[in-house]
Amino acid sequence: MTNSFLLLGIGALSLLGGILALFNPLAATLTAELLTGYLFMAIGALMLLSIFADDSWGSRLLSLVLGAAVLAIGINLVSNPLQGVLQLTVAVACLMLFVGALRIFLAFRMPTAGLRTMLLLAGIVSLVLGVMILTSFPFSAAVVLGILLAVELISNGISLVTLGLAARDRAS
């Protein structure tokens, strides 16, 4: 029962956060950007600390270079949030274009028509979204990350509430 209660509670909080993010996508965009910056800083610091655990000089050098780069990216995102929003928006748009093209390429390699159609549609949606973000840039930067965060929080909330209800029904 406690597991289902926990899932329902976290799911409800995620849903609420997603709805709030939809009502104020600019604040959610800045929040997502700062969260990303702090995560990059933490990951970079951990990578630098891993130097002491590595056995070979090659892996130590790699950890040093990558850790310093990731830490620098995080510091840049946190110290310049508006510039970071622009950079992350371009990165998201480019990622959508790449993933869309990859999905379309993979769609033509699928043996069954159902899988091919779904991958093709998903690829087209990703391409269209990437193009929409880039063609309305820099104006899209104010809301894109916030809307993506809102959609993720809402879908996460729905899935957790569904899992919580299923766990509660099984316990009964």
- Nearest CA-CA partner of 169 in 16, 161, 156: 161
What's the rounded Cα separation, in Å, for the pair 13 and 52?
Answer: 39
Task: For residue 1, name the pLDDT band (cuts at 50, 70, 90).
Answer: very low
Counting the structural domains of the chain, the total is 1
Give the per-residue pLDDT at 168.
Answer: 78
Task: For residue 2, name the pLDDT band (cuts at 50, 70, 90).
Answer: low
For residue 41, the enclosing domain spans 2-171
pLDDT, one tens digit per residue, over 50-84 is 888 877 888 888 888 989 999 999 999 899 988 88
Neighbouring CB atoms inside 10 A of 153's CB total: 21
- Nearest CA-CA partner of 15 in 147, 156, 140: 156
pLDDT, one tens digit per residue, over 8-56 is 888 889 899 889 989 998 888 888 889 889 999 999 999 888 888 877 8
3-state secondary structure of 136: coil
